[in-house]
Amino acid sequence: MIVSLIIGVFGGYGPPLYNVKEWHLEWFWRLCPGIWFTEAYFDKHLARVAHLYDLEAAASWTGYVRGRFGLDIALLLIIGTVYRIAAYGGLIGLNRTKQV
């Protein structure tokens, strides 16, 4: 439940990513792996229905960039790995007196 909430908030839907760009806080959204996952999902799943919708209008409205699926997946993995290493370092280095 918590992961879904975080991905929902930082995935570009609440507030929408196009509003975040206007506030000049896009860098903060891009630190969350959820935005990269959502952008990759948006790109791959809408490609199948490109004949039905104006995908460029949808991309500009949502703020996502289409056509960089490989980069989205790579950054998803890199950011996830960096956060896991930072968490491990925090577990090892902080509050050593409580560790048994």
Residue 80 is part of which domain span? 2-98
Residue tagged 């959204």 (tokens): 29
pLDDT surpasses 60 at 54: yes
5-9, 18-22, 32-36, 59-63: least confident range: 5-9
Average pLDDT over residues 46-53: 85
pTM of the entire predicted model: 0.71
3-state secondary structure of 32: coil
Rounded CA separation 90/94 (Å): 5
pLDDT band at 7 (very low <50, low <70, confident <90, very high): low
| Identity of the residue numbered 51 | H
Higher-pLDDT residue of 72, 35: 72
Taking alpha carbons only, the member of 13, 1, 99 closest to residue 62 is: 13
Note the pLDDT tens digit of each residue in 13-38. Answer: 667 777 777 888 888 888 888 888 88
CA 36 vs. chain centroid, Å, equals 4
pLDDT over threshold 60, residue 65: yes
- Dist CA 39 CA 41 (whole Å): 5
Residue from 31, 23, 37, 43 nearest 82 by CA: 31
d(CA 68, CA 72): 6
Work out how many domains the chain is built from and give that number. Answer: 1
Q: What is the pLDDT of residue 86?
A: 93
